[in-house]
Structure 1
Amino acid sequence: MATVVSAVLRTAAAEQERAIAHFAGKLAFETDPSDVAADLGAGVGGWVLVDSRSQESWDQGHVPGAIHLPTREIAARAALAVPEGTPVVTYCWGPACNGGTKAALEFAKLGYPVKEMIGGMEYWTREGLPVETVDGVTRRPSDPLTAPTGIACAC
């Protein structure tokens, strides 16, 4: 009888110290829509949320409380929009778009502490969180695959 080799374990899991460093490092660079929404909802400040998308995308809908600063304008306008040393959270459209990553890189080059909101606007919307448009704030029903019991995954 042939032995089946695990596709998952073909590459062994990292040893504890490397795993801790990797996952702690990831959390140092990333946040998610639920955590951003929790802070915004509780009025927790000390950081700025930046939407790095185009004007057309911003007008279509953005996270309430975000500021609009397209990636191509960050180098020239960041100091006017975000006080020096203020932590920044960037986002763009979604996981198939690296615009939030590009924006985070631009802020990092300028010396800002920065995180990226993984999932971007797509997952913000899919979690049923509020979206601001030129017509006001709206909310779509949450996608049961992303927020099965509400707007937070309780992780």
Structure 2
Amino acid sequence: MLNDNNTLSQPISPEQKINNFFAEKLSCETDCSDVYADITQGSTNYILLDVRAKEAFEKSHAITAVSMPHSEINAKTFAKYTKDTLFVVYCWGPGCNGAAKAAFKISALGYGVKEMLGGIHYWEDFERYPVNRRVNEAQS
């Protein structure tokens, strides 16, 4: 049904098209809540990659995360992983495309990958999930 409403200015897609769209979207994305639930349940069968600069990782990162700046992702740095390894990547947050760049590179190398929506910003500041944090000597 078309009308003057901005939201409904285009016809609604058929049900199967909608289902396909969201299935595809969910096959490429996860969120902080799902990742944290996996960690607390001990059911992670993926490697959580923080793809920000190493300095940012050292200041604060999601628990269990491994540092791999997106600029360092290549065949050589990934040679230690088997092709059936799944990765979940995150960057700063919604305004950063570092996780998307990393996911693109990882996928091009032949690995499974999902982007964690919200990044460290949502993980730490909104959800208040635990982080590993470097304490400056002046603060200790």
TM-score (norm. length: structure 2):
0.89
Report the counterpart of residue 85 of structure 2 in structure 1. Answer: 86
Q: Is the 8 A contact 2:51 2:68 kept in 1?
A: yes
Over the matched positions of the two proteins, sequence identity in percent amounts to: 39
Which residue identity lines up with residue 42 of structure 1 in the other structure? Answer: Q
Deviation sequence 1:94-118 (CA, Å, 0-9, x none): 0010100101111101100110001
Residue 79 of structure 1: CA displacement?
A: 2.2
Report the counterpart of residue 102 of structure 1 in structure 2. Answer: 101
5+ long unaligned stretches in structure 2: 136-140
RMSD: 1.2
1:9 to 2:8 alignment: yes
1:132 to 2:132 alignment: yes
Q: Secondary structure at the match of 2:13?
A: coil
Q: Is the 8 A contact 2:28 2:114 kept in 1?
A: yes
TM-score (norm. length: structure 1):
0.81
Residue 15 of structure 1: CA displacement?
A: 1.0
Which deviates the most, 82-91 or 68-77? 82-91
Moved segments of 4+, more than 6 Å: none
Q: Is the 8 A contact 2:46 2:86 kept in 1?
A: yes
5+ long unaligned stretches in structure 1: 136-155
Of the two structures, which has the highest relative contact order with CA contacts closer than 8 Å and spacing of 6 or more? 2
- Relative to its length, the structure with more strand (as a share) is 2
Q: Is the 8 A contact 2:54 2:68 kept in 1?
A: no
Instruction: State the aligned residue count.
Output: 131
* 2-structure distance, mates of 1:62, 1:95: 16
